[in-house]
A and B are shown apart, each in its own frame.
Chain A
Amino acid sequence: MDGIVELQRQLVEYTTSLYDEGFLDDQFIQLQQLQDESNPDFVVEVVSLFFEDSQRLLNELANSLEQQSLDFRRVDAHVHQLKGSSSSIGAQRVQGACIMFRNYCEVQNVEGCLKCLQHVKNEYSLVKSKLETLFKLEQQVLAAGGTIPMP
């Protein structure tokens, strides 16, 4: 029982740290609220959707930016999409990076775009690992028979 409590405490601390460090915002809470008996894996599902979508978008971004004649509108559309999906799951640091990226797109700054792409990638992988850890913790808690404390 203590183990569960400890795990739960860990989870809560970890989650709080994610909020405090700005990886996630309240949109994520909304997501978690949407999860119920009818959709038991809703958060994981959405987040993995996000991972897939973001990976695709990042690849496309990298491809577009490598091309000789840069189509900034295309890049901008991709970034916009990424921004939308990241804001929807509450990954606000990725979202912030996307906003910066779009600014560079608007002024057609190739170097800035490349820098931003790197930045977005970093933020993305960070949030990905964080979220994966979070889910792992949740799994552990569930496996131990506890409930996931709602924020």
Chain B
Amino acid sequence: MGSLLKRISSRVSVFAKSWGKSAFTESRRTFHRDVEQEDIEYAGARCLSSYYTVFVARLAIMVMLAILIGMLTLLTWHFTRVYTKKSLSTLAYGLRYELLQRPILRMWNIFNSTVEITTAQVKLSEYVIRRYSKPVNQAQQVELYEVMRDVTWALFASRRALNSITINYRNGFVQAFHRDHRSNNTFYIYSDLANYSIGGSYAINSLSSHRGWNDQSVHNNMSAIWYREPLDPITGEKTGKSGPIPPDDLINIAGISQVPDGAASWHVAVSKYSDSPLLSAALPVWDSSRESIVAVVGVTTALYSVGQLMKELVGFHSGHIYLTSQEGWLLSTSTNTPLLMNSTTGPKLMMAVDSEDHVIRAGAQLLKKAYGNKFPANHEVHIENAMIRNKLYYIDSFFLNLKRLPMVGVIIIPRKYIMGKVDERAFKTLVALISAAVCILVIGCVCIFILTNGVSKEMKLRAELISHLDARRKAEASSNYKSQFLANMSHELRTPMAAVIGLLDILICDDFLTNEQYATVTQIRRCSTALLRLLNDILDLSKVESGKLVLEEAEFDLGGELEGLIDMFSVQCINHNVETILDLSDDMPKVLQGDSARVVQIFANLISNSIKFTTSGYIILRGWCENMNTPCTTSKPWSAPKTKLKRQGSNHKRSNKKDSNMILWFEVEDTGCGIDPSKWESVFESFEQADPSTTRLHGGTGLGLCIVRTLVNKMGGEIKVVKKNGPGTLMQLYLLLSAPVDRTGECCRLKFAEHDLTILLALNGGMCRLIMSRWLLKNGVQTFDVSEWNELTQILQELFQAGNYVQDAPIGGSQSESVSTNDTRASIFIIVIDIGLLDLRTDIWREQLSFLDSFCGRVKFAWILNHDTSKTIKMELRSKGHFLTVNRPLYNAKLIQIMEAVIQESNLELQKKMDSLRSSEVGGDMHEYLEIDPLHSDAESSNSYMSEMDSSRNIRALQTGQRQQEHLYYPYQSKHGAVGNCFVELTEVYAKENESSVNDPAQIMSNLHKKVKLEEHNLATSCSSEQGSLCSKMATNGQKSLEGLRILLAEDTPVLQRVATIMLEKMGATVVVVGDGLQAVDALQVMLTADESVEEFHLEDDNARIQSRTCDSPSFDLILMDCQMPKMDGYEATKVIRRSELGTSLHVPIVALTAHAMSSDEAKCLDVGMDAYLTKPIDCKLMVSTILLLTKRTT
């Protein structure tokens, strides 16, 4: 059953499919297209299967609907049809019965009337004959016959249906009336009287008379002459002459033979003159004594009227009716076909099967076939749906059991007549039902489709969502891999970098380094720091990308930062034969508020990018400032979007109150290969390089500019590439930074013009010279510039031989020295000379030097050295008295420095001259003074680059210091001599600073204290400032820096335990080691319980904290916690410790030790309450600085 259902449903579905394809192409085409599209789109995805389930479900619903509707339709059709049919067939049966009944009734009537007539004739005949029973004579006889004739006529005329009435007398006389229906003539037939004896023996003796009375006597009485005379059919009057006719020619005369036993008899006869069978009845007329038959009366009636009736009946119903005798002789039909057969012996009755009417014949044959010759008596036969000549007929037959003449009536009615309309209607109904069903089905299917379409769409969406989620999960996983990779890489890279930096620090601390070595090493140190920072930046990139980057807000010296940056890059550029030039306008504020590291990162990226693509020429970093508070009047290359600035301004409203927002414009210009204008936008996308081949040529990831743009945007600025004249790239950007108000006014404009300076710039680099001279001119300083040695000699000779330009000054000065120092401010001639101008390849440079020496005294020389200038040259320079040296590259600040030094020297000189005049003492310690500047420039260029800004401050401090305490300063300098140690100098400077301005160290602290890596410096300075004594070495400074600290180390690996212990102990700390987190917690718990005493200590004397540490209380200043430990890991332990600290004022700093170097680990560490985070392997310095930072913060 199930399989059957399945098969059916599959059939139906197949049908539905094909039907759907063929019949509903138009409406479903779109759906199909959709389906196909979806198939393509989601092929291979799991949604395909879900789509199929939807499809199958949809199909199933449709099939069920189809079945339902089909059944409904069938049932409706069936019931309507069956009931109609049944009632109709009942009706039809009645009709048929009725139809047949009527001819039979007519037949019956005919019989009856025939019988009545016959009986009446017989009775009348008996009466008449009895009256004239004994005819005595001819006349009587004739009279009898006359009476008989009248009586018979009366009867005959009364029944118009009668065919004939015959009276056959015993003597052979025949009287008959005959009516010919065809010609509508009535005849009287009689035999010739003459041939009959009047006294013909009406034999009493019946037997004998019977014998004598046979048919033979009538028929064979050939000698008898019969006459026929036509009569008026109505009156019976004789209308014509009677003519003789042969006997028996016209009609059957019923003879004695037909009533052999004296009873009435029936039979069907045929007549020559009638085409229909005749029904003839014969009755004997008995004499009065009822002993013998005197005459025989015969009545024949044509069955014609029955046929007529049938015809009428059937003509209306378009069927056939026929009557047959029991033997099958056709009595009457509803058709016009002849009922008689003409044979040689005369007309004969026909069998129904031989009827010329094919329907009757076929029907008769069918009946005969079914029932044989013997018709079942008293049986009615109904055959429905009899097929005759491809038409359906109803055949019904009824048996009519008449005495002596049993008859069978058959009615054949075409089914079409009765059921035709019904069938038609049924067919129409069926068609209508089917079409309605189909319509409903289609509409239903469409509805289902539409309804389920929503569902399937939802499913599709869900599937899509799932796949999206999947994809996202995958993406997240892969991003996890990425960060894992970054973590590993950063770990792997940072470890060697930390080592490099550490080793460099050790090297820097070495006492035996020469200045040049020292400078080199510090250069390396700076580059390494930059590299390390770069590594950190790569780690930061993920931060930037995820938008987690937060900019610091701290004060910093932009100029100093940029100078340091240029210094750093110049080292790279010299090898490339590229000038790096810094051109900052004087109105740039000294101190800005912002994230210095990020600002430097921006320019570092931009400049390194430029360097990468510039093989010769120059790279200029220009900067100028536009104060937002003052309306800008200068025209800008591209106008800054005001709305954005306003928005930014509103963001900075809080800071606006005391700070002023600045728009700082920068340009980085190079003479490299340039960027194609079509790529100007796309170079700022990540992993995008202007030319794919650059990766091959120059390397790089293509991330630099992306980071730059992100950072610039973050700072409220914009960056873009600008069209440039000539080859190369010009990047323009502006940053929105705020400067503290109290500082902006401080922007000191140097009044060099007052000093009547003349500067000769003898520099190789054309661009640098141009910019410098322009800047100097702007500041009111007269400049000459030369680019090569010959030019220099020429101009020098011109100036000094011809014009006696400078000589005036000393002479004038000496002349007027006694008058006033202020008034005799001589014009000072400075030659800023590049060491590259000398021919260093051969020994010519010595001669060149001695040539320059000839001008010594009249001019001041300032040498610009390369970082790789050899020591011999430097020594030579120094021995010749050229102490004013700076390292490449030259920029404003260095030039200012040179000029200030020269001015001060000249001032000093003047003063000394005055002094010498006064005390006749020649100032021999001029050299000592001059050495300051080389030392400073060394310190500046070689100090790690964050302290660059300090150095610039140093200069300022120096200036103020010099102004205030010149006398104090010089003796000190002379004490130390030329042996330069920057740290001595620095700490000295800091000491000075402390004296001169108390704010400065605090400021330095605030600038620096966020950078753990620079903590060493902070440490050094703070230490020195705290102790107020000179620390000769930073290393020694740090070595015992953990003196007195108690540190709990929780570490399970014995090796690490040992290493960390030794490290810490070397720094002077007391270390307690535990093996796991549980022990750490226990150790701390002991501390907490014992802590109260310590608290008391604290209360007693705050200053005695160191003493309280060193006493035997088990308190810990810090915990170093390994993250992964047995029993209880670092995170758990930290949580427990922090929980136990709740409610107390205690907070033991906990530093995590972990082998992972991911920021997520860091976040996890900080999340559980740790204070800092160190990566394995432990970097000693980092650890110390972290520990110091934390312990200082908490105490």
Interface residues of A (CB under 8 A from B): 25-27, 29-31, 34, 36, 38-39, 42, 45-46, 49-50, 52-53, 77, 80-81, 83-90, 99
Contact = CB atoms under 8 A, between A and B. Distances in A.
12 contacts: A26-B503, A34-B1062, A46-B1055, A46-B1062, A49-B1054, A49-B1058, A50-B1055, A84-B1055, A84-B1124, A85-B1055, A88-B1053, A88-B1177
B1177 A90 contact: yes
A25 to B, nearest CB: 7
Interface in B1077-1136: 1122, 1124, 1126
A52 B1054 contact: yes
B1124 A80 contact: yes
A25 B1062 contact: no
A29 B1178 CA distance: 12
Contact of B1059 (A26, A29, A89): A89
B209 interface: no
Contacts of A26: 495-496, 499, 502-503
Q: 6 closest Cβ contacts across the A-B interface?
A: A26-B499, A85-B1055, A85-B1053, A50-B1055, A88-B1056, A27-B1177
B1124 A88 contact: no
B391 to A, nearest CB: 88
B1054 A84 contact: no
B708 interface: no
Contacts of B1122: 84
Interface residues of B, number: 25
A88 B1054 CA distance: 10
B1155 interface: yes
Interface in B481-527: 488, 495-496, 499, 502-503
Interface of B: 488, 495-496, 499, 502-503, 1052-1056, 1058-1059, 1062-1063, 1065-1066, 1122, 1124, 1126, 1155, 1176-1178, 1180
Contacts of A90: 1177
A119 to B, nearest CB: 18
A83 B1062 contact: no
Contacts of A38: 1065
A39 B1122 CA distance: 24
Contacts of A86: 1055
Contacts of A83: 1155
A94 to B, nearest CB: 11
B595 to A, nearest CB: 31
A88 B1177 CA distance: 5
A76 to B, nearest CB: 10
Given A30-B1177, A42-B1062, A84 B1053 contact: yes
A129 B207 CA distance: 169
A39 B1065 CA distance: 10
Contacts of A42: 1058, 1062
Given A81-B1052, A87-B1155, A88-B1059, A34 B1177 contact: no
Instruction: Give the dominant DSSP class at B's interface.
Output: helix
Nearest to B1175: A87
Contacts of B1052: 81
Nearest to B1155: A84
Given A87-B1155, A89-B1059, A77 B1053 contact: no
Nearest to B1056: A88
Contacts of A88: 1053, 1055-1056, 1059, 1176-1178
A77 B1124 contact: yes
Contact of B1062 (A29, A39, A53, A99): A39
Contacts of B1066: 34, 36
Nearest to A81: B1053
Given A85-B1054, A87-B1177, A90-B1177, A46 B495 contact: no
Given A53-B1053, A53-B1055, A84 B1062 contact: no
Contacts of A84: 1053, 1055-1056, 1122, 1124, 1155, 1176
Contacts of B1176: 84, 87-88
B1059 A34 contact: yes
B1003 to A, nearest CB: 35
A99 B488 contact: yes
B970 to A, nearest CB: 41
Nearest to A34: B1062
A90 B498 CA distance: 14
B1058 A27 contact: no
A45 B1058 contact: yes
A29 B1180 CA distance: 12
A102 B1178 CA distance: 21
Nearest to A29: B499
A34 B503 CA distance: 14
A27 B1060 CA distance: 12
A80 B1051 CA distance: 13
Nearest to B1122: A84
A38 B659 CA distance: 55
B1076 to A, nearest CB: 12
A81 B1057 CA distance: 12
Contacts of B1178: 88
B1155 A80 contact: yes
A89 B1057 CA distance: 11
A99 to B, nearest CB: 7
A36 B1039 CA distance: 13
A77 B801 CA distance: 85
Contacts of B499: 25-27, 29-30
Contacts of B495: 25-27
Given A29-B499, A36-B1066, A46-B1059, 12 more contacts: A27-B495, A30-B1177, A34-B1059, A39-B1062, A42-B1058, A42-B1062, A84-B1155, A85-B1054, A86-B1055, A88-B1055, A89-B1059, A90-B1177
A25 B492 CA distance: 11
A31 B1176 CA distance: 14
Contacts of B1177: 27, 30, 87-88, 90
Contact of A53 (B1054, B1124, B1155): B1054
Contacts of A45: 1058
A46 B496 CA distance: 21
A146 B1056 CA distance: 30
B36 to A, nearest CB: 41
Contacts of B1056: 84-85, 88
A87 B488 CA distance: 13
A83 B1176 CA distance: 10
A150 to B, nearest CB: 10
A73 B832 CA distance: 70
Contacts of B502: 26, 30
A42 B1065 CA distance: 13
A50 B1053 CA distance: 9
Nearest to A35: B1062
Contact of B1055 (A36, A39, A89): A89
A52 B1053 CA distance: 11
Nearest to A51: B1055
A144 B496 CA distance: 34
Given A84-B1053, A88-B1053, A90-B1177, A25 B496 contact: yes
A26 B1059 CA distance: 14
A79 to B, nearest CB: 11
Contacts of B1180: 30
Contacts of A50: 1054-1055
B635 to A, nearest CB: 56
A88 to B, nearest CB: 4
Contacts of A31: 1059
Contacts of A89: 1055, 1059
Taking each of B1052, B1066, B1177, B1178, which has the highest tally of chain A beta carbons within 10 Å of its own beta carbon? Answer: B1177
Contacts of A39: 1062
A134 B1063 CA distance: 22
B596 to A, nearest CB: 30
Contacts of B1065: 38
A56 to B, nearest CB: 10
A23 to B, nearest CB: 15
A65 to B, nearest CB: 19
